[in-house]
Amino acid sequence: VVYFGAAESLTAGAIYYFNSSGEWAQADASAAATATGMLAVAKGTALTDGLVLRGMVTLVADPGTIGDVIYLSTAATRAQASAPTATGEIARIIGYCVDSTNKQVYFNPDNTWILSG
């Protein structure tokens, strides 16, 4: 859990990336700029609540079925159970679904990614 950077607002369970301005912004697999850097899940609505870089988290939306590999979604701040495939989208594994009913995942973003084309 980290407590650095800046953010206009956070949503508990949402996925953010750390940008070149030192801010946590909404992560989105629709563009490399928002999908290939350091990712974290907000624990609450303020930086003082912390952001999880790796570990067990509860996401804002159901990411898939238990055991699924999950990817960063093209819907901002979300995860999905299938890799994005449209041209220009980023396929990046970010963890594994451990409880789909309660939206819990092991968040462990891979440092590698693929640009769909």
Q: What are 34-74's pLDDT values in tens digits?
A: 999 999 999 999 999 999 999 999 999 988 999 999 999 99
Strand partners, 24: 18
| Percent of the chain whose predicted confidence (pLDDT) is above 90 | 96
DSSP tag of 47: G
**How buried is 26 (Cβ within 10 angstroms: 0-12 exposed, 13-18 middle, 19+ buried)?**
middle
| pLDDT (0 to 100) of residue 117 | 79
**Biggest CA-to-CA distance, the chain:** 39
| pLDDT (0 to 100) of residue 36 | 97
Q: Is residue 79 within 8 Å of residue 94, measured between CB atoms?
A: yes
| pLDDT (0 to 100) of residue 48 | 96
**pLDDT tier for residue 77 given thresholds of 50, 70 and 90:** very high
- The average pLDDT across 27-40 equals 97
| pLDDT (0 to 100) of residue 62 | 87
| pLDDT (0 to 100) of residue 83 | 96
Angle, CA of 93, 99 and 101, to the nearest 5°: 120
Question: Would the pTM count as exceeding 0.85?
Answer: yes
Q: Count CB neighbours of 100 within 10 A.
A: 16
Q: Copy the structure tokens of residue 46.
A: 């303020």
Q: Copy the structure tokens of residue 76.
A: 């901002």
**pLDDT tier for residue 84 given thresholds of 50, 70 and 90:** very high
